[in-house]
Amino acid sequence: MSTIASLRIGEIGYISEESLDFIPLKLLEMGCLPGAEVQLIQLAPLKDPLYICVNGSHLAIRKETASKIQILKVNS
């Protein structure tokens, strides 16, 4: 399985059901739910945090958190 941290800029994935226990409540409240589309928009200069788009909302999350959230990548 891939994680949000493994996405390349512009790549899209969908949050997997197995990640539910690892997603902080704050991110769940902001729409990071299983099945949600995630796209990596930008990386900070030191590659932490990651700037992502989740269902149209732009969020910045730590690489440590992103590496715990499993996704299903879209083949492109």
Q: Whole-prediction pTM value? A: 0.87
* Mean pLDDT of all residues in 37-66: 93
- State how many domains the chain has: 1
The answer for residues whose C-beta is within 8 angstroms of residue 6's C-beta and 6 or more apart is: 67
First to last CA, the chain: 17
Q: Which domain holds residue 46?
A: 2-73
How high is the pLDDT of residue 19?
Answer: 87
53: domain CATH number? Answer: 2.30.30.90
How high is the pLDDT of residue 76?
Answer: 56
